[in-house]
Chain A
Amino acid sequence: MNMVIGAFTMGLILSLLSLGMLISFRMIRFTDITVDGSITLGASVTAVLIMQGYSPLTALLISVLGGILAGAVTGILHTLFKIPQILSGILVMTALYSVNLRVMGRSNIPLLDVKNISDFADKNLQALVGSTNLELLSWQLSVWDLAVFTSSSVVCILVGILLWRFLLTHFGTALRAAGDNPQMVKAQGVNHQVMVIFSLALANGLVALSGSLLAQYQGFADVQMGIGMMVWGLASIIIGEALVRRAGIGVAIIGVVLGTILFRLLIAIALRWGLNPNDLKLVTAAFVFMALVAPDGVRKVFNKLFGERRHAAN
């Protein structure tokens, strides 16, 4: 049960990263590897600020600002200086490695016995339950785990709803069209470059938010923690799309969240079955490769596993 709650919490936190990548990778169609650096940036900024006694919420917001800045730089490198997508991302990601070391002053900061964004939920749940442990259907459950799960859900639902409403606005609609057909949006008076920069800023802001929550959940920030995160995000998005198929924005957002949770569950199960954690990134990369090469094949497998989904065109 702890494993399941853990995978769910991890999935909810990382679904913020996947939602960010939904904007960059799927909507504005930018293969943005800045993600690997900006999630660590979110974590390291949060760790340093919390250690210095700032409130977790302040730390969270400043982390998001950091992510926004990192994404905007990648966007500017690509649009203003005409550097190819991947290379812009690699440059910023590489630069962020040093930035993160500078921010933290060392390669690793543990966050033990400090304030946490989930403290509020923890206090209330403890008051409700009356102890630090809870027995649910004969499973032992720590209230702390439940608290983190609750606060992650709240953040995730809040971000999901805001993102959903945003993407349906005039501005959000133009953003989605900008990825779909750059020529068309220019002819309709949309500044395509600004849209790319904005999308990457928003995407990496969400990624940094994910990093901030991740550091608080794991209890540490590490300069290496971002490696492979982009591929994990891709895998989650692909699983999510296989779950809901092509559908409206709201359903797509739910799909990505569910996809990330499912991905974390699959990983947790694989690890319990004895998968060497060192092989995790290889397995993920292979999975994304298969999904990219044979999307229909993967979809078919999913349809077999989870039942045929109706093709929702609208």
Chain B
Amino acid sequence: MLQIKGATKTFFPNTANEVKALQNVSVSIKEGSFTCIIGTNGSGKSTLLNAVAGTFLLDNGSVILDGHNLTRSPEHKRASLIGRVFQNPFAGTAAEMSIAENLAIAMKRGQSRSLRQALSRKSRTEMADKVATLKMGLEDRLDNPIGTLSGGQRQALTLLMATWVRPKLLLLDEHTAALDPKSAAKIAELTSQIIKTEKLTALMVTHSMQQSVDMPDRIIMMHKGKIVEDYSDERKHRVRIPDLMSAFDRIRKRELFDETVAEMVMGQYV
């Protein structure tokens, strides 16, 4: 479904602030699978997600989704295939516009936007029905500005909006990280539920070890712009939080050495 090949991205090249965010990353994601990317801060996990979303273009490598080569396409063109939920709960919705208007925009994701009226009685009923499934009582507040809702409510709506038109790929960028624990749990549950019932292909970045063990069926661990671990199938089912922690520890210890020394010593002792 999704093939990333040799993805390389360096931010601020040839300056003191040079960051090698992605170093020749290749990964392939199967249709209908739910993959989670974990890693330390600055490991390149969000960068990888943004490379797929098209926030920036890769220096090298390619992104192919469902047979479409997206490597050079701009962000808005990729939106016809990709649904996104951001870390910032305010990023996915237009605050001053009503819930209904936001949903109307999502109903046309990646399609041409005509000069027909955006809100009809029919679309309102459809919206109310679908919003009611969130069980947040928002179906009676369709005309309220979305900015008056809580972060959790907005994130739930963003999730609904990202999946309203069925995306080939759902990208979730630490989408529960900025929420209070209760809302975060609710959004995580909602995410799993939508992905399961709609049989979506999803790629999620998370900081939460618990989520990475509970929710997806594959875990990719990144460090310094490279994929360092890949738990899938049977290995994923067995993996527990302590295993992930020790994997992180191993990587950190390796870092104590100079890279060349590490290679040498690793050969002898590991």
Contacts and interface: CB of A to CB of B under 8 A. Distances in A.
Given A186-B75, A187-B75, A187-B79, A174 B113 contact: yes
Nearest to A181: B94
A183 B118 contact: no
B118 A189 contact: no
B117 A188 contact: no
Contacts of A189: 76-77, 79-80, 108-111
Interface in B99-130: 101-102, 104-106, 108-111, 113-119
B231 interface: no
Interface residues of B, number: 41
A174 B103 CA distance: 11
Interface string A154-183: 000000000001101111111011001101
B113 A170 contact: yes
B92 A187 contact: yes
A228 B98 CA distance: 34
A173 B76 contact: no
B164 to A, nearest CB: 10
Contacts of B97: 173, 176-177, 180
Contact of B117 (A168, A185, A314): A168
A171 B105 contact: no
B113 A190 contact: yes
B66 interface: no
A177 B101 CA distance: 9
Scoring A174, A180, A188, A189 by chain B CB atoms within 10 A of each residue's CB, the highest score goes to A188
A170 B108 contact: yes
A89 B213 CA distance: 53
Contacts of B104: 170, 173
A171 B95 CA distance: 18
Contacts, number: 99
A188 B79 contact: yes
A168 B118 contact: yes
Interface string B83-97: 110100011111111
A282 interface: no
A181 B109 contact: no
B180 to A, nearest CB: 22
A188 B161 contact: yes
A276 to B, nearest CB: 40
A171 B110 contact: no
Contacts of B83: 187
Contacts of A181: 90-91, 93-95
Contacts of B80: 189
B128 to A, nearest CB: 15
Nearest to A189: B79
Contacts of B86: 183, 187
Interface string A282-314: 000000000000000000000000000000011
B144 interface: yes
A192 interface: yes
B145 interface: yes
28 contacts: A169-B115, A169-B118, A170-B104, A170-B108, A170-B113, A170-B116, A171-B115, A173-B105, A173-B113, A176-B97, A180-B94, A181-B93, A181-B95, A184-B94, A185-B76, A185-B105, A186-B75, A187-B75, A187-B79, A187-B84, A187-B92, A188-B79, A188-B110, A189-B77, A189-B110, A189-B111, A313-B144, A314-B144
Given A177-B102, A313-B144, 5 more contacts: A170-B115, A183-B86, A187-B83, A187-B84, A190-B76
